């Protein structure tokens, strides 16, 4: 079953063709990072407009690279949420219209479940259920017990900033631009992680929730005390911040595995690209005899291969979308958790 995947939840316009939920035939990602860089973060209205410009060429490129045609596609899968409403609407509406015109079925995919699915793509030895997964990205830091492709139990999440968001905010404080994760990761190896002792925000050491705003404030205090740091001092701050992040993320993931009696763990989302975190988890997993799964770099950040891959399982289980279904924003997503009805107007895209 060949699925065309479409992703537009934030600042990447992506399309991919994946066979039977496993084999990636193409995966095209058009990043808007250059545009948002000067604003120090994603500007939702700009993101929506850029998705509009990119969506058709990106889909055409994905089909061409897969050496297939729209007619040969069996179904279309598109991110339904959570994400920026205006950005989501572009990919989601495109996918619905495209499938309708082609007379093919389509499915609206949960972006978070799709990140969890990224470890199953092009992987001859994927994790066995149940496993514990940490999804760490710019919008989320969630710990799950995953017992099936469409069954993930949320164990804990961040109460304030997401891990990637903390990286981005710290990079901004240090004048390193946006996005900040990769830059801090690179700088961290040049600095001394023990030069500055940043707090490890474990909250309850036995719990699975996270909180990174205090760590970010600790960096802000450092910068406040020394407004003109030398490159050496910036590297030390980056190293100290990264060491605190890696300690907390590693502790929580391993603790979840132990509590849930799982022998396999996964790290997914943009922050999974972090070299320091990768190295620490590899070492800890080997020590504890755990199977560790981290997707390749191309599948850590937002991409459409994970959408198409999971789309296969939505289709296989008959979870097709209706033409009148809508995207769900983060506001709607959280409102549903506390049983609130959320009315989203177009103003919801305001920063
Ligand atoms: O999954 P993703 O592409 O988009 C969201 O769904 O949010 O994640 C983007 C986030 C950004 O906050 C970025 O700074 C972070 O992932 N990131 C990293 C690294 N590469 C990207 N964080 C830490 N270390 C990295 N090497
Ligand atoms: Zn994402």
Identify the CATH number of the domain in which residue 48 sits. 3.30.420.40
User: Domain range holding 153?
Assistant: 127-294
- Ligand 1 atom having least distance to the Cα of 302: 3
Same domain, 181 and 137: yes
- Ligand 1 atom having least distance to the Cα of 269: 1
User: Could you tell me the pTM of the whole model?
Assistant: 0.92
Same domain, 90 and 57: yes
Residue 44 forms part of a structural domain: yes
> What's the gap between Cα 96 and its chain centre?
23
What the block records as the tokens of 193 is 């992680």
Q: ω into residue 196 within 30 of 0, thus cis?
A: no
Question: Based on the number of CB atoms within 10 Å of its own CB, is 78 exposed (0-12), middle (13-18) or buried (19 or more)?
Answer: buried
Residue 40 forms part of a structural domain: yes
Q: What pLDDT, on a 0 to 100 scale, did the predictor assign at position 348?
A: 37
Same domain, 144 and 289: yes
What the block records as the tokens of 30 is 């058009």
Same domain, 141 and 287: yes
Query: 192 CA distance to ligand 2 centroid (A)?
Result: 31
- Ligand 1 atom having least distance to the Cα of 115: 1
Same domain, 102 and 159: no
Same domain, 142 and 260: yes
- Ligand 1 atom having least distance to the Cα of 180: 14
Q: What pLDDT, on a 0 to 100 scale, did the predictor assign at position 37?
A: 86
Ligand 1 mutation pick, 270, 276, 278, 299, max ligand atoms within 8 A of CB: 270
Same domain, 151 and 73: no
Domain end, chosen from 294, 310, 337, is at 294
Residue 121 forms part of a structural domain: no
Q: What pLDDT, on a 0 to 100 scale, did the predictor assign at position 21?
A: 98
Same domain, 254 and 151: yes
Binding-site residues, ligand 1, Cβ < 6 A:
10, 137-139, 164-165, 167-168, 179-182, 185, 269-271, 273-274, 301-302
Q: Whose CA is nearest to atom 16 of ligand 1?
A: 270
What the block records as the tokens of 167 is 């990286």
Same domain, 258 and 180: yes
Q: What pLDDT, on a 0 to 100 scale, did the predictor assign at position 327?
A: 86
Per-residue model confidence as pLDDT tens for the chain (351 residues):
999 999 999 999 999 999 999 999 999 999 998 888 888 888 999 999 999 999 999 999 999 999 999 999 999 999 999 999 999 999 999 999 999 999 999 999 999 999 999 999 999 999 999 999 999 999 999 999 999 999 999 999 999 999 999 999 999 999 998 889 999 999 999 999 999 999 998 878 889 999 999 999 999 999 999 989 999 999 999 999 999 999 999 999 999 999 999 999 999 999 999 999 999 999 999 999 999 999 999 999 999 999 999 999 999 999 998 887 888 765 665 666 666 665 554 433 332
Same domain, 51 and 134: no
Q: Helix crossing, 163-173 with 231-259: angle to 10°?
A: 170
Same domain, 154 and 266: yes
Q: What pLDDT, on a 0 to 100 scale, did the predictor assign at position 274?
A: 98
3-state secondary structure of 180: coil
* 151-157: strand order across its sheet: 151-157, 141-148, 131-136, 264-268, 291-293
- The number of folded domains in the chain is 2
Residue 73 forms part of a structural domain: yes
Same domain, 305 and 161: no
């Amino acid at each position: 079953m060949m699925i065309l995947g479409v992703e537009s939840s934030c600042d990447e316009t992506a399309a991919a063709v994946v066979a039977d939920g496993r084999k990636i035939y193409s995966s095209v990602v058009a990043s808007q990072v250059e545009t948002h860089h000067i604003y120090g973060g994603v500007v939702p209205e700009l993101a929506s407009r850029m998705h509009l410009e990119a969506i058709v060429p990106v889909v055409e490129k994905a089909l061409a690279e897969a050496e297939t045609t729209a007619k040969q596609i069996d179904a279309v899968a598109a991110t339904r949420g959570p994400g920026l409403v205006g950005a989501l609407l572009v990919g989601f509406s495109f996918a619905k219209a495209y499938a309708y015109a082609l007379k093919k079925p389509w499915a609206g995919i949960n972006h978070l479940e799709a990140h969890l699915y990224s470890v199953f793509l092009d992987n001859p030895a994927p994790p066995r259920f149940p496993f514990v997964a940490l999804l760490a990205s710019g919008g989320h830091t969630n710990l799950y017990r995953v017992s099936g492709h469409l069954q993930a139990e949320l164990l804990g999440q961040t109460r304030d900033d997401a891990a990637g968001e903390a990286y981005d905010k710290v990079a901004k404080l240090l004048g390193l631009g946006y996005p900040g994760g990769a830059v801090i990761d690179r700088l961290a190896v040049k600095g001394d992680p023990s030069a500055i002792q940043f707090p490890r925000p474990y909250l309850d050491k036995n719990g699975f929730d996270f909180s990174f705003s205090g760590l970010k404030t600790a960096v802000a205090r450092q910068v406040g005390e020394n407004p003109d740091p030398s490159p050496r001092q910036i590297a030390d701050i980056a190293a100290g911040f990264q060491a605190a992040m890696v300690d907390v993320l590693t502790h929580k993931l391993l603790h979840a595995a132990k509590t849930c009696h799982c022998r396999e763990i996964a790290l997914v989302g943009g922050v999974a690209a972090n070299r320091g975190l990768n190295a620490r988890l590899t070492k800890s997993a080997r020590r504890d005899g755990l199977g560790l799964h981290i997707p390749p770099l191309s599948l850590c950040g937002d991409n459409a291969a994970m959408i198409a891959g999971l789309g296969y399982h939505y289709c296989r289980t008959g979870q097709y979308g209706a033409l009148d279904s809508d995207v769900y924003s983060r506001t709607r997503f959280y409102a549903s958790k506390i049983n609130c009805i959320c009315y989203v107007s177009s103003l919801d895209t305001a920063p």
